[in-house]
Amino acid sequence: MSIQEEADRLRNIALPFGEIQHAMQVLADAQAQVQTILGDTQRNREVQGALESAKASLDNSYGVVQEAERQITEAANHHANG
């Protein structure tokens, strides 16, 4: 395998952006359902807080994955250029 092919393989590594976005949507849907079922109650606020925390963690994870993607791209470019 040539160096350019190896660099291309690095660039083609699939990272889980879609999965993170899907999980964010699932959590948003869960928030809407919980709101509908529990209404304006203390328990709803507690559950909503937990769901918001989960969404914040996913949002942070998305940023970490973006950084990993940047580093992979940088490594591929460096590998291709010697």
Q: Where are the domains of the chain?
A: 3-81
pLDDT of residue 39: 98
Q: Which stretches of the chain drop beneath a pLDDT of 70?
A: none
Distance CA(64)–CA(75), nearest Å, equals 16
Task: Pull the structure tokens for residue 70.
Answer: 């940047």
pLDDT of residue 82: 79
Three-state DSSP class for 39? coil
The residue to which tokens 């964010």 are assigned = 24
Whole-model pTM? 0.86
How far from 49 is each of 24, 25, 73, CA to CA, in Å?
A: 14, 16, 36
pLDDT of residue 41: 98
